[in-house]
Amino acid sequence: MTAPPVSPAQAQAIREAAAWHTRLHGDTASAADLQAWERWHALSPLHREAWQQVQDICGHFAGLPGTLAANTLLTARASRRKVLASLFALASAAPLAWLASRSDSGRTWLADLRTRTGERREFQVDGNRLLLDTASAVEVDHQRHLLTLRAGAVMVTATNGDEQAPLILRTREGEIRAPASRFTVRQHDGYTEVAVLDHQVRISPSAAGLAPRPLLAGHHARFDEHRVQPALPNDASTAAWVQGNLVALDQPLRVLLAELGRYRPGLLDCDERIAGLKVSGAFPLDDTDLALASLENAFAVRLQQRSRYWVTVVPR
């Protein structure tokens, strides 16, 4: 069935919605941005319809640049197959725009294995088990026994590897080589964090001439391109996401909310007066509303919810 034609007004609303989606899901989204978005959203039924369409398609394709999401909606809005077809048509018709999308976010969308915001999902790759965390992406090179973590975090249970041909997991800062072992890796801005749950791995920062560093079971460490930081013992918070929990151990409230915010869309923040409040507890990642309610019940705070996408924790 052919989709109905899109009017110029609808096309403009979709482009604006895609721009708002990119802005609100960026690292610099502010309360002022959300207030401006709410005014735009309330201004017209076309805006609300376009916003829902962008939300739907970006839910299926986390990490797709906003401009591509808008063009995709304008050309095919019915099915995933049509969406993919339209993207390849866009690549042919606008090579410069397509090449521009080959940024980190573009490569994230094109990765072989992906999860949406709030989703955790298991994959089997060449006999190895991978569990991807929220908004994560992994590329797979079967011939080289190589995984590349483009975004987010992954737990790897490596069963199909040995010392001569270990599984290799690459990040922006270097490589982790693992024979039979179980470990988690998270890509941060500027560094990688590795936690070993069983056996051991070897970490090789990408700078030339650096010898691999072993990391033993029960320990975690961070590394950048030039060095591996000293290993620390794992604790209850290490890899708690694997079990669907966020465990805080005397953690500042703002840090906790930043982590919880990775599992829900929109802006989650707190009043400056309580940003340093120390929080301990276990919070469910599959129901972030329940996690916030638990926080409200256990501490002298309350939730100020201006919209579905804008929640601020304030003093009670």
Domain locations along the chain:
8-110, 113-233, 244-315
Tokens of 107: 């490569």
* More confident: 99 or 120: 120
Provide the pLDDT for residue 4.
54
Q: Is residue 30 over pLDDT 50?
A: yes
Provide the pLDDT for residue 70.
52
The single-letter code of the amino acid at 145 is H
Long-range contacts of 300-305 (CB under 8 A, 24+ apart): 301/253, 301/270, 301/274, 301/277
Among the ranges given (102-106, 260-264, 302-306), the one the predictor scored with the smallest mean pLDDT: 102-106
How many residues appear in the chain? 316
Q: Is residue 312 over pLDDT 70?
A: yes
Q: What CATH architecture applies to the domain 113-233?
A: Sandwich (2.60)
Provide the pLDDT for residue 20.
83
Nearest to 158 by CA among 203, 111, 124, 195: 124
What is the C-alpha to C-alpha distance for residues 219 and 183, in angstroms, rounded to an integer?
Answer: 10
Give the mean pLDDT of the chain.
82
Among the ranges given (96-110, 184-198, 207-221, 248-262), the one the predictor scored with the smallest mean pLDDT: 96-110
Q: What CATH architecture applies to the domain 244-315?
A: 3-Layer(bab) Sandwich (3.55)
Residue 302 CB partners (closer than 8 Å, separation 6+)? 296, 313, 314, 315, 316
- pLDDT single digits (tens) 156-183: 999 866 666 789 999 999 999 998 899 9
Q: What mean pLDDT do residues 275-294 have?
A: 95
What pTM value is reported for the model?
A: 0.71
Q: Is residue 7 over pLDDT 80?
A: no
Rounded to 10 degrees, the C-alpha dihedral 243/249/254/259 comes to -20
Q: How far is CA 224 from CA 104, 150, 202, in A?
A: 18, 15, 14
Nearest to 3 by CA among 76, 69, 90, 79: 76
Tokens of 284: 């469910």
Q: What mean pLDDT do residues 43-72 have?
A: 62
Residue 208 CB partners (closer than 8 Å, separation 6+)? none
| Runs of H (alpha helix) within 161-276 | 253-260
Contact (CB, 8 A) for 269 and 303: no
Q: Which residue has the tokens 């735009």?
A: 40
Phi, then psi, of 51 in degrees rounded to 5: -60, -45
What is the C-alpha to C-alpha distance for residues 198 and 183, in angstroms, rounded to an integer?
Answer: 7
Residue 291 CB partners (closer than 8 Å, separation 6+)? 246, 260, 283, 284, 285
Tokens of 109: 């969308």
